[in-house]
Amino acid sequence: MKIVSKARQKIHQLRKKMANKAIILMYHRVNELELDPWSLAVSPKHFAEHLEVIHEYTNPISLKDLAKAHRNGNIQNRSIALTFDDGYVDNLYQAKPLLEFYDIPATFFITTGYMGQNREFWWDELEQLLLQPGKLPEKLSLEINDDFYEWELATAAIYTKQDYQKDHNQIAYKAKPGTRMFFYYSIWQKLQPLLEQERSSVMKQIINWVNLEPIKRTNYSTLSAEEVSLFGESKLVEIGAHTVTHSYLSSLSEEQQYDELKKSKDDLELILKRPITNFCYPYGNFTKRTSEIAQNVGFECACSTFEDILWHESNCFALPRIEIQNWNQEEFAARLLKYFSVKVP
């Protein structure tokens, strides 16, 4: 009888672990943009609707507390943690007030090399150069690490206001070949894995080709060190590291990866005067060695971009997340609650 009782107890504990599901949401921006090739922005209206659903149907929790619950094996069912990647200034001025209104915590991962810089993230600068109405030269030639690449734009050389407006909801990687958006995506693919210095060199070639110097647009600003400090004063805000240059980590040497992780951690700790224990892999890109480096420099968890629920078998240094787009309340609720097997009334 004792043996049967112990077996039943183990089964009960296993069922409990499997039943207690949590999810981590991945946001980037709370803003309204004319063009959003990567679906990074959620409008303030829709974000407020998302928070209303979260407040009504789930158990909001900070990422730090969720990671601790995961390590201890006591995840509360329907736990949900919000995260924001990159470090756009609208996180402070648009997202934070809404989070405070609904009393929901969130973690913001900051790319420290862009703090206070008079420039945009490189993918936004590229969008500014290539995806504005107007005419571009019909042929682009780029030298990238001693290799030469050429693009024939053909009809994509002309990009009308109508084309621009039609691309309002166009996602870059879904663009049709021969379009301006596809051209943008093709260049983006070449730039993504480069080191910061290499990418800057290629961007200069593109700037010369377009004959246009990019400006820092207010709607695309990044947080300054002072704003990060102000942000971190909120009891609902956790600040996490997101490397220095938003690097594609698997393309770096181990030493370079270590520097990217350690320096971003040090930068934020110097600003906030407290330990930074959360990390997020840019683009969700990492290797087994990367996660080991994350542990070695003192992070307690790291977020990936794998879409899945969080449960007892999840890897604390490859935490899954659900990417959130600019959905209205009804669609957001339907997508969110299916993970918890809950029917929307």
How many C-alpha atoms does 290 have within 13 Å on its Cβ side? 26
Residue with tokens 């030639």: 141
Domains, the chain, in order of start with CATH, read 15-117+219-340 (3.20.20.370), 122-215 (no CATH)
- Strand pairing class (79-84; 59-60): parallel
Q: Provide the pLDDT for residue 338.
A: 87
Q: Provide the pLDDT for residue 209.
A: 98
Q: Provide the pLDDT for residue 340.
A: 81
What CA–CA distance (Å, rounded) separates 273 from 293? 23
Nearest to 202 by CA among 220, 217, 187: 187
Q: Which residues in the chain come in under a pLDDT of 50?
A: 1, 3, 10-12, 14-15, 17-18
pTM of the model: 0.92
Q: Provide the pLDDT for residue 337.
A: 83
Please, are residues 298 and 281 in contact by the beta-carbon 8 Å criterion?
no
Nearest to 86 by CA among 48, 38, 47: 38
- DSSP H or E run through 238: strand 237-241
Nearest to 207 by CA among 221, 187, 178: 187
Q: Residue count of the chain, please give it.
A: 345
Q: Provide the pLDDT for residue 1.
A: 44
